[in-house]
Structure 1
Amino acid sequence: MKILLAGFGAMNERVAKLALDKGHEITGIILSRTTERQLPYPVYYVDDEFPEADVIIDFSNPEITLPLIQSKHNIPLVIATTGEKEAIIDALKIKAQHTPTFFSANMSYGVHILTELIQYAVPLLKDYDIELIERHHNKKVDGPSGTLVKLLDAIQEKRSLNPVTDRTLEDKARAHDDVGISVVRGGTITGEHEVLFAGIDETIQIIHRAQSKDIFANGAIEVAEQLINKHNGYYTFENLS
């Protein structure tokens, strides 16, 4: 494949290395504004004419992602940007009328399976309290993570709950229909997401631990390899295969 990268942070640096190892080609990097940073590939901006490419892989931010989706190109899009999720999905569904598009807040197939397991478990554990905990490195800016939001959405499809992000605001006991959301930032933690089901005298924990950012980069490349052969449409892990 010929790949354009939207943004060139830590994730797309990994995408570039792993894509080259697999025999793919990086044709350029798309940015939203000029940079003094020396980059290893040609730089383009959202309003530019892009070079020939089979797919765009985007691990950037909404400042790049939304204008990129709304621009005139018809290159298949693999979007892994977190932040402004609903706006991104709405724009992708419009774009999907004339090009294949894919979105996931987490490119790990293991996280996709985690989501499936949670949706299976929630109806079976309807009397259990649910808590969500995510842990990431100390450089991560947003919180809660896009993946935690994805897990919360999956839970909400099966059980209507009230998200609680700060219990210091009120002095009262936890309500059964609350779902606690805890955010941990420290060190070099790649990414951990835990769903805790707490019942009477017992707990069940479902945890996904990312041991390397390569799982997300490889996931994006594998999605791109499938997406470029798909008809126009909006895809997720649920309907890509």
Structure 2
Amino acid sequence: MKIKVGLIGFGKTGKAVAAVILQNKEFSLEWVLRRTTTLENRSVPEFLGLESEEPGLIYSTEHIAVADLLAQHPVDVIIDFSSQEGIHVYGHAAADRNIKIISAISHYESEELDLLTVLAEKTTVFWSPNITLGVNYLLFSAKFLQKIAPGVDIEIIEEHFKQKQGVSGTAIKIAHALDIDVANINSVRAGGIVGKHELIFGFPFQTVRLIHESISREAFGNGAIFVAKDLIKLPKGLYNFEHILKPYFQL
């Protein structure tokens, strides 16, 4: 039985994620929901030039309510690559139907974080500001290295495409995990960099560098699928990548 997915958001990352889902035989992309009416009622496989028997139609919130979409086209999990406000649009409707939620939004304010907690009382909710496997492996490694060398100097450098605004949510998450002041994050905005995070550990007479670089946005799709496979089996509650990865690090 395939895992039925509804995808929220169809920007550059959303399109890449949709392509990954469509090419995975364990998943079925039932629909895509976006704010604008551009591409409305188009087939995602046809738009992306992929052969697929999955429906994958594009809907707009301008013409269909989320509750109606979920009633007409039920899914097992919603994957959100839209915007900070998206969770307010679909969150309660999904939770009321016990649909699992995977949010890959890079930054939430306290209002959205509180909403995730409320939704997690009804269904299974996952949030990670960066859903790529590599970044989360980097974070695990960084925490381990800091544990064995608690006095080491640590610098965080994050690089992204020129149009990205604000400090990377992933870099902020890393800073919090390592108890580093967010104000000390070094940000670079240039060209079309998809995303790069570098941690520099300054030891006396030596340095250690941990680097993760996203080569293409399909990496976010692979991460979302990895999470969905585990999340589908978990009870209601609020989860992050550490909850998902911990079992894999048991030696």
Q: TM-score range by the shorter chain?
A: 0.7 to 0.9
Number of the residue aligned with 2:89: 67
Find the partner of 1:109 among 133, 152, 166. Answer: 133
CA contact (8 A) 1:15 1:221 kept: no
Alpha-carbon offset, residue 75 of structure 1: 1.2
Amino acid at match of 1:53: V
SS at match of 2:196: strand
* Residues 219 and 85 of structure 1: CA distance in aligned 2, closer, same or farther (over 3 Å): farther
How large is the Cα RMSD of the aligned pairs?
2.1
1:14 and 1:214 in contact (8 A); partners too? yes
Match of 1:173 in 2: none
Cα distance between partner residues in 1 of 2:97 and 2:13: 23
Hey, what does 2:50 align to over in structure 1? none
Runs of 4+ off more than 4 Å: none
User: In 1, Cα distance between the equivalents of 2:141 and 2:221?
Assistant: 23
Shift of 1:86: 4.1
Deviation at 1:79, TM superposition (A): 0.5
> For this pair of structures, how many residues does the alignment match?
220
1:121 aligns with 2:145: yes
Kindly indicate whether residue 206 of structure 2 is the aligned counterpart of residue 190 of structure 1.
no
Bigger shift: residues 18-27 or 64-73: 64-73
Q: Which has the higher helix share?
A: 2
Contact 2:175 2:181 (8 Å CA) reproduced: no
Residue equivalent to 1:171: none
**Structure 1's 110 and 44: CA in aligned 2 closer, same or farther, altered over 3 A?**
same
Equivalent residue letter for 1:2? K
Partner residue, 1:27: 30
**1:155 alignment partner in structure 2:** 178
Q: Specify the alignment match of 1:212 in structure 2.
A: 216
Specify the alignment match of 1:6 in structure 2. Answer: 8
Letter of the 2:227 counterpart: V
CA distance in 2, matches of 1:78, 1:133: 27
Unmatched segments (≥5 aa) in structure 1:
165-179
User: For 2:241, what is the secondary structure of its paired residue?
Assistant: coil
State the secondary structure of the residue aligned to 2:182: strand
2:37/2:60 contact within 8 Å kept: no
Change beyond 3 A, Cα 1:239–1:123 = closer
Output the amino acid matched with 2:8. Answer: A
